[in-house]
Structure 1
Amino acid sequence: MANNNEVKATAKYVRMAPRKVRMVVDQIRNKSVEQALEVLQFSTRAAAEPVAKVLRSAVANAENNNNLRSDNLVIKAAYVDEGPTLKRIRPRAKGSASRINKRTSHITVVVAPRKEA
């Protein structure tokens, strides 16, 4: 974080595939906090809930730790990294087995005050 006004929040080991969470995160990038929360509230995707939780956490961090106003914040960066994969086995025909990968995600949201030009 180059700028000292940037505030970050992270949720680790979220039991959702990163690919699915990225679809939600792509919708809120570079939006204001109010707009983003609105988009997440009406999203039909399950990943919207943990993403909204991380966003609210980032806003709370900005208010409490950096004395920033929440109505002036924008999402500067939002990204999803892949966490460890839980490997499970499903029995198949003729005594064989196939692997099921239960993927996890690390969700990060960075908020910063809006630039007044």
Structure 2
Amino acid sequence: MEKKILIFSKLNKVKISPYKVRLIVNLIKKENLLNILNILKYTNKKASKLLLKTIESAIYNAKNNFNIDIDNLEIYKIYIDNGPIFKRILLRAKGKFDKLLKRTSIINVILINKNNGTKS
């Protein structure tokens, strides 16, 4: 039986709201890896470029560290966490102010190698 190997890739403190990244993650759910790469390549959003960068990093980790072919890889899990929030103020009339919350994200991608008909 071939062991399943988990390959991680993480992108920290990205200056984009987690909500915007999760929209793109929902777009690529339940697709195979090659379709995901094509969808992300031709989607015109900042989040798609960041996700593509993180997934390609995980693919290169699998190739270099474990000698796994790209055809044997599939996405196990993608999850987006909240990063640190930078708090700023926006000055208003009559000595008042509004809060500005500059949100950041942490993008985590986990790949797994599939079993190709190996017997246990």
Query: What TM-score, normalized by structure 2, do the two folds share?
Result: 0.88
Number of equivalenced pairs: 115
**Change in CA separation of 1:114 and 1:4 when aligned onto 2, cut-off 3 Å:** closer
What per-residue deviation string (whole Å, max 9, x for no partner) do you get for residues 11-48 of structure 1?
Answer: 00000000111111222234322111111011122111
User: Could you say which residue in structure 2 is the equivalent of 1:56?
Assistant: 56
Is the CA contact 1:72–1:114 (under 8 Å) kept in the aligned structure 2? yes
User: Could you say which residue in structure 1 is the equivalent of 2:10?
Assistant: 10
Find out whether 1:32 has 2:48 as its counterpart.
no
Structure 1 spans left out of the alignment, 5+ residues: none
User: Could you say which residue in structure 2 is the equivalent of 1:84?
Assistant: 84
What per-residue deviation string (whole Å, max 9, x for no partner) do you get for residues 58-79 of structure 1?
Answer: 0011111111101221111001
Larger mean Cα displacement after TM superposition, 95-104 or 67-76? 67-76
Secondary structure, aligned partner of 1:47: helix
Separation in structure 1 between the aligned mates of residue 32 and residue 8 of structure 2, nearest angstrom: 15
Separation in structure 2 between the aligned mates of residue 102 and residue 17 of structure 1, nearest angstrom: 8
Structure 2 spans left out of the alignment, 5+ residues: none
Secondary structure, aligned partner of 2:46: coil
CA RMSD between the two structures? 1.5
Looking at CA atoms only, which structure, 1 or 2, has the larger radius of gyration? 2
**Change in CA separation of 1:71 and 1:116 when aligned onto 2, cut-off 3 Å:** closer
Query: What TM-score, normalized by structure 1, do the two folds share?
Result: 0.90
Tell me the percent identity.
34
User: Could you say which residue in structure 2 is the equivalent of 1:101?
Assistant: 101
What per-residue deviation string (whole Å, max 9, x for no partner) do you get for residues 70-98 of structure 1?
Answer: 12211110010000001111111212110
